[in-house]
Structure 1
Amino acid sequence: MRALAAASAFSLLSACVSYQGIQSQVQLKTLNADSGAFPGQGGSGNWPDSQWASSIGGADLQKLIDQALQNNPSLQVAAARLQAAKAITASVGANELPSVNASFDSTYQRFTEKGLIPPPLAGTYNTNNQLALNASYEFDFWGKHSAEMRAALSQEKVAEAEGQSVRLMLGNAIARSWLQLARQAAQLELSKQQLAIREKFDQLTQQRVKAGLETKTETQQSLIQLSGLKNDIAQWQEAIALTRNQIAALQGLGPEQGRAIPLPQFRQAADTALPGSLPLELLGRRPDIVAARWRVEASQGEVDVAKTQFYPNINLVGFAGLSSLGLSNLLQSGSSIIGVGPAIRLPIFEGGRLRAQLKGKVASYDVAVATYNQSLTDALHEVADQVQILQASQAQATEQKAAEQAARVSLQLAQQRQKAGTANMLPVLAAESAVLSQQKLSLDIAIRHTESQINLIKALGGGYDSKTSFAPAASQAKSNTNINNTTAASTSEAAL
């Protein structure tokens, strides 16, 4: 009989663990020290760091970003989500502890004459009362509570990384807007200088027309160029107002505060020294990649929880208190009750509910893995694009420097001829306008190069330290990262 009972129990247990054939269909991509590297600039150093804004725009830019980090509603939403995730973690942690509660029930009823209540109480009306302490504890034989905790902790880390991602995106947006504001202010000043030169040119042209040295056609051409420069100035002024409004909105402020934002003076900072190569594992410092990786961990924990539903649920329950028929008898010594014992729930036939539930969790895991893989691919392309833009803008800057130098030499030659009396002032003014045009082109190239630096900083995580943000479940609780094997070991941090 004992052998039969043991065999029956084993058969029932084997029947419960029936998730064969439910497997993940997506492979997790990994980045580690052997994954390769992007080409850098042949320099050395630790780049980027968390103080990147100061290196780009000095204290003024850093102040704008700090103000935005205090007031922006998106960051407030991210902070609220993190607090909600922490509350869920605390709630899940409570499942690992015994549950104790007190209860008092008093029901006025008629007791049946055909039940367990003997005469003379049978057929009478009275109160059925119970005052007790009830306790229960669920044994975690199959790792259900630890899997729930892994999932909750991972979701908390997701919320934390998402908050850092919002901070990085906000800082990047403000830095790029600040850079465009500097460009617009500089272009406005150069356009005003061009307008002043064109007005002098127009005055000289009118004098030559009156002297019969030029035709009225030249005057009309000069007026066309004057009108074009005035339109450019108006457009730059409009762009400055709109960019100020945009920065104020990013800071969570109104337009009136935006109008008070000072116009920055763009000075191209020393080129940020990139290492000779950029290891691909640096992408693990991007908060969005870290968040996606934690989502995979959270989904793995949910899969493990779903698997534990196939096993018996074993609880220890107990109670102690008072019970009586009639409220006046409740506090008498003979009314005491006490009990303790196991409560076992064994799933045998659930109509496919447990398998469907596990399939859903595995599908969610596959979605999380595929999303992480796609985020990794997008990040690789983003970094590669910005590195390419940096290299191209450096080459363009070299060529533009030569063009601007040639324009300055032409201006010097025109000034020498004018001083020698072999030419009038018109070629000098034309050469001055040409120098300003080359300066505008140089400015745009320098702005594009700096903007690419800002974007590359964002693409590499902006100095976010992933070592403190992604510590796989191995450092907190053992996790199965391969859902096809319930005994698989947890992945290491190199999975990023």
Structure 2
Amino acid sequence: MNKIMTMKPFLPKLMTPLLAALILAGCAAPELRAPEIDIPQNFKQADAARASNEAELARWKPAQPAEAQPRGEWWKAFNDTTLNQLIEEATTANANLAVAAARVRQARAIAGIAEADRIPSVGAGFGGQRGRTSAVSRGLPAGTAVSPGNLWQGRLTASYEVDLFGRVGNNITAAQADAAASEASYRSVLLALQADVAQTYFLMRSADAELAFLNETVRLREENQRIVQRRYDLGDVGELDLSLAKTELSTTRSEAIAVERQRAQLEHALAVLLGKPAARFAAGNNPLLASFAPPGIPAGLPSALLERRPDIAAAQRAMMAANARIGVARSAMFPSLFITGAGGGESADLSDLFQWSSRTWVIGALLNLPIIDGGRNRANIARSEAALEESVASYRQSVLAAFAEVEDNLVGLRTLSGQAQSLDDAVASARRSAELAGKLYSAGRSSYLEVLDAQRNLAAVERSAVQLRGARAATTVALIRSLGGGW
């Protein structure tokens, strides 16, 4: 009997920490678990590239010049000083990048505001007032004359919220995660800017090469027309051959004008990326030569992609922020404790305000507990949980899209490499066909239509080869971008 009675006083002491733990667990943010995503061990298209042949296998090794460069300066792997300068200019002057940088500063400032809640707020106040109260409020008979008086006040005030249930801590965690997400978004914008500059630059160089090819074709067509015109004047050929020669010349000139328009548009787009007016920017002619070979880019492992891609990092930080805001919403269901204090002086005369006899102070605590809120707090919790589900789904989508982008660019490079080999063979065959057709026509053993067909085929194949060089360069940049730019 005595043992039972001696145990009873200890029951409240045992229940108090247990109850507190349950309350704290109820208002804390849930444990954030990474979404389950089926991550392959290797990229499928990288395996296909390795299986194609030994030359293709060697192409996927890291290029030696790139390995010597600081991490992140991927564009230096192309060994192009003009490209290096353009990316440097864009990094310092691009408007979209400036917007992203400003958002980072805003997010950091908001995180600083949240962190300020951990520190008591202290303020100072000074003022005076003059007024008259009623006689009744002073305990005097009604109608007693009361003179107006002055009241001077000077005091320090302090207030502090005790973080009983994690509202402040979770709010800081959410703000810090938002700031980290903003920084990752900035890096994503920076990577996109660098890639856009590189792709536009290489496409413009490809247009220069294509335009140089078409101008040379126009020169050959003009020479061909003069030869046909002379043979027509001598009566060796009919008017049909002359008309066909003129048609081919005009058609080639038209194609050259179209490429000039395309090249101008690329130059204007590059000017915008560099933060310059299009009217004040001019890029020099720099054709992409046949000897150009893009650097080999190692695809790496899919699991490492999650660490390199800044957009995935931003989605992950957004998920963390949404998870912390669930804790903020849950803490609103529990009491909040505020401690306040003030001290200073009050006096009717300003000269006596800071006298010891005029001192005044007050200290207090306020425990605020919601009782009836119409379901507002529970609805806010539901909204926060739905926001977390949204961020988790966005994260999964970002990861899946990243994997698809890498696979797309890998297959793009692999197939473009195969196309280049086939086009090299086609160019050699087309040149031989055009040469034979010209000899047969000169010997009078074939018509001029056969010569034109052979020349058209040669021009089409050679132009495709020029365009393919630009496509390979742009796809290489796209692969680097899809890999996060940090290989």
TM norm structure 1: 0.80
Cα distance between partner residues in 1 of 2:301 and 2:445: 56
CA displacement, residues 383-428 of structure 1 (integer Å, 9 cap, x when unaligned): 2221221122122112111111223444666788899x89899899
Cα distance between partner residues in 1 of 2:33 and 2:362: 51
Map residues 358-377 of structure 1 onto 2, 5 A cutoff.
358-377=381-400
5+ long unaligned stretches in structure 1 = 465-496
Q: Does 1:103 align with 2:109?
A: no
Q: Does 1:396 align with 2:419?
A: yes
CA displacement, residues 171-192 of structure 1 (integer Å, 9 cap, x when unaligned): 2222121122111111111111
Q: Does 1:382 align with 2:405?
A: yes
Aligned to 2:327: 304
Structure 1 residue 98 displacement after superposition: 1.4
CA displacement, residues 240-275 of structure 1 (integer Å, 9 cap, x when unaligned): 2222122112111112332x3112231464343344
Structure 1 residue 316 displacement after superposition: 2.4
Aligned to 1:71: 93
Q: Does 1:29 align with 2:51?
A: no
Q: Does 1:439 align with 2:484?
A: no
Cα distance between partner residues in 1 of 2:145 and 2:475: 89
CA displacement, residues 326-367 of structure 1 (integer Å, 9 cap, x when unaligned): 656544433222233432112222221211222222222222
Change (3 A) 1:410 1:224: closer
Counterpart among 269, 279, 288 of residue 302 in structure 2: 279
Structure 1 residue 95 displacement after superposition: 0.9
Q: Does 1:206 align with 2:212?
A: no
Report the more deviating stretch, 276-285 or 239-248. 276-285
Change (3 A) 1:247 1:39: same
How many pairs were matched up? 459
Structure 1 residue 280 displacement after superposition: 4.3
Q: Does 1:87 align with 2:140?
A: no
Structure 1 residue 374 displacement after superposition: 2.2
Secondary structure of the residue aligned to 2:462 is helix
Aligned amino acid, residue 264 of structure 1: N
Aligned to 2:78: 56
5+ long unaligned stretches in structure 2 = 1-8, 51-59
Structure 1 residue 101 displacement after superposition: 1.2
Aligned amino acid, residue 156 of structure 1: A
Aligned amino acid, residue 127 of structure 1: N
CA displacement, residues 413-464 of structure 1 (integer Å, 9 cap, x when unaligned): 6788899x89899899986765443221111222222211111111111228
TM norm structure 2: 0.81
Greater share of residues in helix: 2
Cα distance between partner residues in 1 of 2:184 and 2:428: 48
Report the more deviating stretch, 390-399 or 224-233. 390-399
Secondary structure of the residue aligned to 1:39 is helix
CA displacement, residues 270-291 of structure 1 (integer Å, 9 cap, x when unaligned): 3433447542431432222211
Cα distance between partner residues in 1 of 2:453 and 2:220: 8
Instruction: Check whether the contact 1:13–1:311 (CA below 8 A) recurs between aligned residues.
Output: no
Structure 1 residue 200 displacement after superposition: 2.1
Structure 1 residue 34 displacement after superposition: 6.5
Cα distance between partner residues in 2 of 1:34 and 1:255: 45
Structure 1 residue 225 displacement after superposition: 0.7
Aligned amino acid, residue 170 of structure 1: L
Q: Cα RMSD over matched residues? A: 3.9
Secondary structure of the residue aligned to 1:264 is coil
Cα distance between partner residues in 1 of 2:44 and 2:129: 76
